Structure 1
Amino acid sequence: MAADPDFTPMPEKTPDAAQPDPSPSPRQQALAVLCLTDPRDKAVAARALYRHVATLPDDALGAGEAILATPAHAIPGRPARPLLVAPQHVERRRSLQTAAGRAAMIHALCHIEFNAINLALDAAWRFAGMPPAYYRDWLRVADEEAYHFTLLADHLATLGAAYGDFPAHDSLWEMTGKTAGDVLARMALVPRTLEARGLDASPPVRARLAGAGDHAAAAIIDIILRDEVGHVAIGNHWYRWLCAQRGLEPVATYAQLAEQYRAPKLRGPFNLEARRAAGFDDDELAWLEASAG
């Protein structure tokens, strides 16, 4: 695919890396931030981009732009470490009663949040023709995921480790690639499926960290869960909006998309309170519980 002559990538490792260039559209800037490889630079730039976008009128968001051109190998930008391995090869969790065990856990969460920045930025730049609020929503999600990543990376440093020190897997991004051609599939299977799993997983993880005496980490999980309810709600909103636009019934369409794209089978127990707060209705929750493995 030919390079876009109007696309100006944001520089890495410069004093001004946190200041978005005002000339490219916000979607072009989201793509540029997505291509950054340094996690800290990406987090800072994602937060700065949302602050910039929050001041713009709807007609400046680039909703009508075609899909932007960039080398496929540049998406997503990520560091040389952590080493990415198959999920079954990720090291089994160590005891959280040790600093090393807590570091491994926090690193896994840090990796999820780094991927979540990429997921939100990809949703913002990739899909043309959505309402302006869609782009503003996903850039806000990228901002909050960047905040979560920073909190976890800073806490990881107190445990004598850094992001990249442990192997990790790439399952979150793999589904992003599979759904690159259809925004409906993306909304169904990334925020409403993979990210929604965090609503179920967060309370037991928090309890384990608090039980091990890591109250700072438990407090970070509280922040993440609070914000993730909103992120999944955004996915639910745009999924239903797209279903309405296409004349589709949401529950049956979700089941069809999950099968078509071979989404992972969800297993309980489910955090029904958080899922309801994130916009899942009773019909969806009944289907989820009936189909759970």
Structure 2
Amino acid sequence: MRTVGEACRAVLLAADPPSKVRTARAVARAWRRGDLRHDFDATMPDQPTRPASPELLPPNRMPKRGGGSERGRIALLHALAHIEFSAIDLAFDVAGRFGAQFPRSFIDDWLSVGADEAMHFAILDRRLRALGSRYGALPAHAGLWDSAAATAHDATARLAVVPMVLEARGLDVTPDTVTRFRVAGDEPSARILHRIYTDEIRHVGFGAKWFGFLCAEADIAPAPHWQMLVRRYFRGVVKPPFNDSARARAGLTREFYAPLAAD
């Protein structure tokens, strides 16, 4: 791998989880050391390569997760591990697909996000194994790449939807999830989720930062443009409750999402 484009493509093509984690971390280190040229000579695949397991199911076929039982907590941790596994690909795809449109610091930010997501996945999988399970033991959501596919042609749309909607939703729901694990006496899992939550504030912030960069270049008001893109490309609903303080720390203020919630 001689260029950052080739390196990002290599992460997307790594299928099994240990290989994807190793490749993601190695690429992030190589970029920090200056070993990769700032060139984008490799085409990103339409879909990342996926491992043989978990079985991927549409949302309406996903089994219901239990409540506070250990089995329910394992199911939730597995779902979160799958989100983090997909997030590795999302970070390296946005860098490799759109990096030529941005300054070098865009790559600094998103490769650091990819390294974070690889670490998040690894510690969640390690926790699953400590609980007698593993990533791939349960089915997982098949639709996590849909938003990436829908926005593959437009960096502004990708930033609007993936970090500023999907990752921002994690800021809303994770504090309550941490509390649920603590009430159940599962402090190790609670600490892992709190660490992920703290990192995700920074990740959402990168989305808001670079979305604002593109809007400034085009002389477009960011909040109304974001709302238009979310209505066009996001199939779900932007709904409360919102973690306003965490969102604000990431630069995602209520002027962005309050009008969509009112819809």
CA shift at 1:286, angstroms?
3.6
**What does 1:211-230 correspond to in 2, within 5 Å?**
211-230=183-202
C-alpha distance in structure 2 between counterparts of 1:176 and 1:69, whole Å:
15
Question: 1:26 maps to which residue?
Answer: 4
Equivalence for 1:81: 53
Aligned partners of 2:28 and 2:115 also within 8 Å = yes
What residue is the counterpart of 1:105 in the other structure?
A: 76
* CA distance in 2: counterparts of 1:111 and 1:195, whole angstroms: 14
Alignment of 1:119-268 (within 5 A): 119-127=90-98, 128-268=100-240
2:25 corresponds to 1:42: no
Which residue of 2 is the match for residue 61 of structure 1?
Answer: 38
Q: State the SS of the aligned residue for 2:134.
A: coil
CA RMSD of aligned residues (A): 1.7
2:37 alignment partner AA: A
AA paired with 1:54?
Answer: R
Question: Which residue of the other structure, out of 86, 93, 114, is the alignment partner of 2:65?
Answer: 93
1:274 to 214, 235, 246: 246
Indicate the SS of the match to 1:172.
Answer: coil
Query: How big is the shift at 1:252?
Result: 1.1
Amino acid at match of 1:53: W
8 Å CA contact 1:43–1:147 kept in 2: the answer is yes
Q: Distance in 1 between the 2:45 and 2:103 partners?
A: 26
Give the total of aligned pairs. Answer: 262
- Alpha-carbon offset, residue 243 of structure 1: 0.8
* Cα distance, 1:289 vs structure 2: 4.4
Q: Take 2:260 and 2:178, find their aligned partners in 1: how far apart are those partners? A: 24
Q: Which amino acid aligns with 2:72?
A: G
SS of residue paired to 1:273: helix
Identical pairs, percent: 39
State the secondary structure of the residue aligned to 2:64: coil
Change (3 A) 1:160 1:193: same
Between 1:248-257 and 1:213-222, the stretch displaced more is 248-257
Q: Take 1:175 and 1:195, find their aligned partners in 2: how far apart are those partners?
A: 12
Partners of 1:90 and 1:167 within 8 A in 2: yes
Instruction: Give the TM-score normalised by structure 1.
Output: 0.85
Instruction: Give the Cα–Cα distance (whole angstroms) in 2 for the partners of residues 135 and 187 of structure 1.
Output: 14
User: Which structure: larger Rg?
Assistant: 1
Asked whether the 8 Å contact 1:111–1:168 carries over to 2, the reply is yes
Cα 1:285–1:261 shift into 2, 3 Å: closer
Whether the aligned pair in 1 keeps the contact of 2:9 and 2:45 (CA below 8 Å) is: no
Counterpart residue number, 1:51: 29
Shift of 1:249: 1.1
CA distance, structure 2, for counterparts of residue 141 and residue 122 of structure 1? 11
2:87 corresponds in structure 1 to: 116
Gaps of at least 5 residues in structure 1 are 1-20
Shift of 1:281: 2.6
Query: In structure 1, the residue corresponding to 2:56 is in which secondary structure?
Result: coil
Q: Distance in 2 between matches of 1:241 and 1:39?
A: 33
Contact kept? 1:36, 1:77, Cα under 8 Å: yes
* SS of corresponding position for 1:92: coil
One-letter amino acid matched to 1:49: V
Pairwise CA distance, 1:96: 2.4
